[in-house]
């Protein structure tokens, strides 16, 4: 089986030996063995690694109901350099911006997230920051690089091709206000109200030029006015 998480990585002095900190089962008795990390394909601009072990933890009677950290090791054919390490498909580490010998764990936006600003990639980061539902699309953005207001919506009806059918075209939506931080857009306020009153009560410095023309969200659009059965799951 694979570890529940790979939480850290670092390189040996030779820059070729890769150590991976993994979460493995633990208990009163031995709960894992044969922990190993292997390259799954030749090194290119990426290093793809799979970590596995064997364990009786699927049997609750084994007592292996907790977790501890164990380190797997793999020797690379050549020094890592500036390549990214991809572990088990979805955990990525990079040496860029890390303090050697450690590697840096990359986030959901990758190892080099977009700079906060008035760009499509930056708006996608803002949607992730508020856990927007899957298949969300942006309706409007007002942005000056330091502040952002973002309206977005998502369909709630069954998939069909008849745009005149309310069941196919009904949707819910949201409005969020953000401020720029080094890590990206930081959510500040959610409201369905128009104008500046709500946001400037929360943050007086929010520029009037970005909120004065905002119309209230329609009652049928905002989630707080939707029936519980219509509330979509988040992605």
For the chain, the structural domain boundaries read: 6-105, 120-230
Q: How confident is the model at residue 87 (pLDDT cuts 50, 70, 90)?
A: very high
Q: SS3 of 17, please?
A: strand
Q: Provide the β-strand partners of residue 8.
A: 21
Average pLDDT over residues 159-170: 57
pTM confidence score: 0.58
User: What pLDDT shows up at residue 230?
Assistant: 30
User: What pLDDT shows up at residue 20?
Assistant: 97
- How far apart (Å, rounded) are the C-alpha atoms in residues 204 and 105? 36
- How far apart (Å, rounded) are the C-alpha atoms in residues 79 and 84? 12
- How far apart (Å, rounded) are the C-alpha atoms in residues 145 and 129? 17
């Amino acid at each position: 089986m694979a570890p529940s998480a790979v939480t850290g990585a670092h390189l040996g002095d030779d820059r070729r030996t890769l150590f991976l900190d993994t979460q493995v089962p633990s208990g009163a008795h031995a709960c894992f063995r044969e922990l190993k990390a292997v390259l799954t394909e030749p090194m290119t601009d990426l290093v793809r690694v799979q970590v596995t072990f064997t364990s009786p933890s699927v049997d609750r009677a084994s007592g292996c109901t907790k977790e501890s950290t164990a380190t797997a090791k793999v020797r690379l054919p050549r020094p890592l350099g500036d390549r990214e390490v991809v572990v088990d498909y979805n955990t990525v580490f990079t040496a860029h911006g890390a303090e050697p010998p450690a590697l840096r764990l990359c986030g959901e936006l990758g190892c080099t997230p977009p700079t906060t600003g008035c760009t499509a990639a930056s708006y996608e980061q803002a949607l992730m920051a508020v856990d927007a539902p899957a298949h969300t699309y942006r309706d409007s953005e007002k942005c000056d690089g330091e502040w952002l207001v973002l309206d977005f919506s998502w369909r709630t009806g069954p998939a069909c091709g008849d745009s005149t059918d309310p069941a196919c075209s009904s949707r819910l939506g949201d409005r969020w206000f953000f401020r720029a931080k080094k890590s990206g857009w930081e959510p500040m306020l959610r409201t369905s109200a128009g104008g500046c009153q709500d946001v400037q009560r929360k943050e007086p410095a929010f520029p009037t030029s970005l909120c004065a023309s905002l119309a209230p969200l329609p009652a049928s659009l905002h989630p707080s006015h939707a029936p519980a059965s219509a509330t979509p799951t988040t992605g």
